[in-house]
Chain A
Amino acid sequence: MGKRMGMEVAMAVAEAVGLCNIDMAAVYPITPQSHIAEHLSDLVANGEVDAEFVTVESEHSAMSAVIGASGTGARSYTATSSQGLMYMHELLPIASAMRLPITMAIANRAVSGPLNILNDHSDIMPQRDSGWISIFVENGQEAIDMSIIAFKIAEHQDVMLPVNINIDGFQLTHMVEPFEMPSQEEVNKFLPPFVPHATLHPAKPVTMGAFAMSDYFPEIMKAKDEALKNSKKVVVDVFNEWGKMFGRNYKLVETYKTDDAEVIMLTMGSMGETAQMAIDQLRAKGIKAGLVKLRLWRPFPFEEIKAVIKNAKKLIVTDRAISFGGPGGPVFSEIKSAMYAETQRPLIYNYIYGLGGRDVPVGDFIGMFERVIADTANQLADTYEFWGVRE
């Protein structure tokens, strides 16, 4: 049986990873991820986790080292944030092209400049097209659960892709929350040993990362896209298995009071909890408000999203990053393209908010609803606005 306990989420993530029989980790410190690096080092130093902890000199080398280790067939882990993730950027599509099931926690933090250490999603968004499975978590329990689930998804024979788990920096990583930590026996039962598709070992010499010209490159890209799209089914299956075993059920898209909702809000990550309070307050006032929380960012769950929002009159997509000079928030443009061909679809509004750690209290979410509801002429639909920015 799992154990109920309270602990800082970042440390709990390290504990959870420690239960996964990892062989190797290479983690470079960066706020607000550092406590994962430190606590995992502690676990290794105390012999509680039997793994090689490589104290790399940069995030570029962290990702390079886990690619190398995963190539040998070692279960390999890393974690980073913001500038560190940007520094890894070059290697992310290589890891996925090589089909290496690395898992990585991202303590989401705003990207410079200016330098800022607080939470938003501007670090993960530029990695969107790297070919990784990308999951967002809402609370500490989910951060722990996904840290374990990620290995099973990544290493599934039909997947073999790297996975990143997005955990809002400070907002989640530095919270002390109560949660249930699975036991070692439970994790052993849930997570089978890693069976790699090929390994760097003289027992069977292979070449990985060969050079491909135009005669093969498009086929390779197509194969990668199919692999990522097909992983959705496995994600659902593994979530279900987890639910059966631990009683905590996860869906690709989580809904709250959406059945009869006329106005729906969509969030990703920790803001979901505050937004949910806003829904309750709005419902108390008789407003048919609902909430959709997007858990799986890549592969994008088009069908699941469509099914839950298509009957609403208005949809408020919230974004914690912006595509400068572009269509607004990245989630917004994704949702818009998902709904483009639908005959029945809501008007879609977009608020860019909570950037660089700016606090977003319940009242702000209510404010967004009120503004959208007041827009009877539909003038604000299909465009984006910065929320709460001083004019």
Chain B
Amino acid sequence: MALKTWKELPIGCVVSEPGSASEYHTGSWRSQRPVWDNQKCIKCGICYVFCPEGCVQQMEDGFFQADMDYCKGCGICAHECWPRAIKMIEEG
């Protein structure tokens, strides 16, 4: 997106598009990625609750997945998943 000129700036620099930070994809920061093994998943939702990015979502089948555009690869989900259904693997 082209940077705005001074004339195009909103008055008082008010940002009126809620959640527009999502334009920025933090997924590029990642060096590891979480991989779900749904065989082991008990659908408890812990991975969803504890993700600092809020990028883990529940799918229609009740299982969970991370949005790789935003996942920073912190490993919290894998560490907290009690049945060990999530593994962190190196990005490569």
**Residues of chain A whose beta carbon lies under 8 Å from any beta carbon of chain B:** 97-100, 160, 197-198, 204-210, 212, 215-216, 219-220, 222-223, 226
Contact = CB atoms under 8 A, between A and B. Distances in A.
Interface in B5-21: 5-7, 9, 11-16, 18
Contact of A205 (B3, B9, B13, B18): B18
A187 B5 CA distance: 39
Closest 6 pairs (CB-CB, A-B): A99-B12, A219-B6, A207-B15, A222-B6, A198-B14, A223-B6
A98 B18 CA distance: 18
5 contacts: A98-B12, A160-B12, A208-B14, A220-B13, A223-B7
B13 A206 contact: no
Contacts, number: 51
B6 to A, nearest CB: 4
Contacts of A220: 6, 9, 13
Contact of A207 (B5, B7, B11, B14): B14
Contacts of A216: 3-4, 9, 13
A320 B39 CA distance: 80
Contacts of B18: 205-207
Interface of B: 3-7, 9, 11-16, 18
B6 A208 contact: no
A212 B12 contact: no
A197 B13 contact: no
A12 to B, nearest CB: 32
Nearest to A210: B15
Q: Which of B7, B11, B14 has the most CB of A within 10 A?
A: B14
A207 B18 CA distance: 8
B7 A206 contact: no
Nearest to A215: B3
A197 B13 CA distance: 11
Nearest to B7: A223
A204 B5 CA distance: 25
A198 B16 contact: yes
